[in-house]
Amino acid sequence: MPDGSDQPTITVLTAMADIAAAAWDACAGTGNPFIRHAFLDALETSGSAAPATGWLPRHLVVKRADGAVLAAAPLYLKSHSYGEYVFDWGWAEAYQRSGGRYYPKLQCAVPFSPVTGPRLLVRPGEDAVGLRRMLAAAMIQLAGQMDAGSVHVTFPTCAEYEGLAMAGFLRRLGCQYHWSNDGYDSFDAFLGALSSRKRKLIRKEREAVARQNLVLTTLVGADIKARHWDVFHRFHQAVVDRKWGRTYVNRDFFDRLSASPLGDQVVLVWAEDDGQPVGAAFNMLGDDTLYGRSWGAGPHREFLHFEACYYRAIDFAIAHRLARVEAGAQGEHKVSRGYLPIPTYSAHWIADSRFRAAVAHFLDHERPLVEEDMADQLRDGPFRKDENASRC
């Protein structure tokens, strides 16, 4: 990195609107839609990720002396742990029981999106290692300035995860379930790679949906109208109310996303019964990946969730020659449907040395358990034994 007067400087932004989309995206790239300026800006301007909801933007931007943006990181000061999908509620409770104050904290993440991707964004051709190190140090420094006791980087890439460990962050290992396209030219070709029992299971579920005379269509980009979002948001809210009780993105977010440069990358699997909507699955399209995000539905329809969220996603990926489908957080039931466990990462810096030691001890024990569980699931996976052997 340059020395002297050419030394890059770091600016803290209070909104995505404070930086030009082209400058941010020059660092973010185009492969992953969730780290693009348009996605983050839609979350903020809709009020979904905003100070009123406990997400105070404090994005970091590294600039050269001539004003060129070299690197950036989406960063928020938070007063809670909602919407992160790497759960630290237990840490917060333990620290507060011991007399400490866990919040506020700094969160380097894409709000409400448990999708692996770059978090320390570096413009191609620049010193990636040095600039990531600079961003990590800046987050720690900002935590001190804002009286935040910790910094959390969730769902970074493996390279960032290892680099953050070298910068003093603690490493946490997680697990998600992704479908990989091994060059299948049809859904039947994918089924042919499965064990007989799993193949029959999937066929039975798809046939059960077909017998209900439901009509499913896959809408992309401009095919998705405001009326679709009206129904989807209502359905998704109903699912959240039944299961978790808290929705994160509001109705305005979807309009802003559709109107943004990412509008063509929105994929909505839409289900109707006799012309009436009964369910929908919201996805985002990356360069080589379909990202499953949210599900919404009315009255229960047998196996419709599996069809819309998992099988139609596979159909889409095969038709568009995508490398994978990422089906979101949690769900061991996805393994029997061809979605295999893969590691996810997070990195955590904690100011209090004693509390940091306790968390480090916990993580040292947790990581091998996660690895062992993933290995067990792979051994018992849905593919024929020769397929499972090649995937392990």
Distance CA 41, CA 38 (A): 5
Q: Are residues 104 and 203 in the same domain?
A: no
Quote the percentage of the chain above a pLDDT of 90. 90
Q: What are phi and psi of 155, to 5 degrees?
A: 60, 45
Predicted structure pTM score: 0.94
Domain boundary residue, one of 278, 293, 322? 322
Q: Are residues 163 and 62 in the same domain?
A: yes
pLDDT value of position 306:
96
Q: Does the residue 188 lie in any domain?
A: yes
Alpha carbon distances (Å) from 171 to 38, 121, 156, 302: 30, 19, 11, 40
Q: Are residues 101 and 31 in the same domain?
A: yes
Tell the residue number behind the tokens 């590294």, with chain if given.
62
User: Is pLDDT above 80 for 363?
Assistant: yes
Instruction: Identify the band that residue 245 occupies on the pLDDT scale cut at 50, 70 and 90.
Output: low
Q: Does the residue 385 lie in any domain?
A: no
Q: Are residues 62 and 142 in the same domain?
A: yes
Q: Does the residue 363 lie in any domain?
A: yes
Distance CA 329, CA 54 (A): 22
Q: Does the residue 389 lie in any domain?
A: no
Q: Are residues 271 and 350 in the same domain?
A: no
Alpha carbon distances (Å) from 181 to 178, 268, 269: 10, 20, 20
Q: Are residues 27 and 171 in the same domain?
A: yes
Instruction: Identify the band that residue 231 occupies on the pLDDT scale cut at 50, 70 and 90.
Output: very high
pLDDT value of position 392:
29
Residue range 272-324, pLDDT digits in tens? 999 999 999 999 999 999 999 999 999 999 999 999 999 999 999 999 999 99
Pairing outcome for strands 59-63 and 9-13: antiparallel
How many domains are contained in the chain? 2
Q: Are residues 140 and 226 in the same domain?
A: no
Q: Which of 162, 142, 122 is nearest to 8 (CA)?
A: 122
Distance CA 286, CA 349 (A): 30
Q: Does the residue 391 lie in any domain?
A: no
Q: Does the residue 248 lie in any domain?
A: yes
Q: Rounded mean pLDDT of the chain?
A: 94
The pLDDT of 125-141, averaged and rounded, is 98
Instruction: Identify the band that residue 332 occupies on the pLDDT scale cut at 50, 70 and 90.
Output: confident
Alpha carbon distances (Å) from 335 to 117, 135, 178, 198, 340: 22, 37, 9, 10, 5
Distance CA 341, CA 215 (A): 31
Q: Does the residue 289 lie in any domain?
A: yes
User: Is pLDDT above 50 for 390?
Assistant: no
Q: Are residues 290 and 229 in the same domain?
A: yes
Structure tokens at 262: 């990412």
Q: Are residues 171 and 239 in the same domain?
A: no
Q: Which of 269, 271, 277 is nearest to 314 (CA)?
A: 269
Q: Are residues 97 and 224 in the same domain?
A: no
CATH value at residue 42: 3.40.630.30
Q: Does the residue 273 lie in any domain?
A: yes
Q: Are residues 169 and 289 in the same domain?
A: no
Domain that holds residue 197: 182-322
Residue range 25-76, pLDDT digits in tens? 999 999 999 999 999 999 999 999 999 999 999 999 999 999 999 999 999 9
Q: Are residues 10 and 156 in the same domain?
A: yes
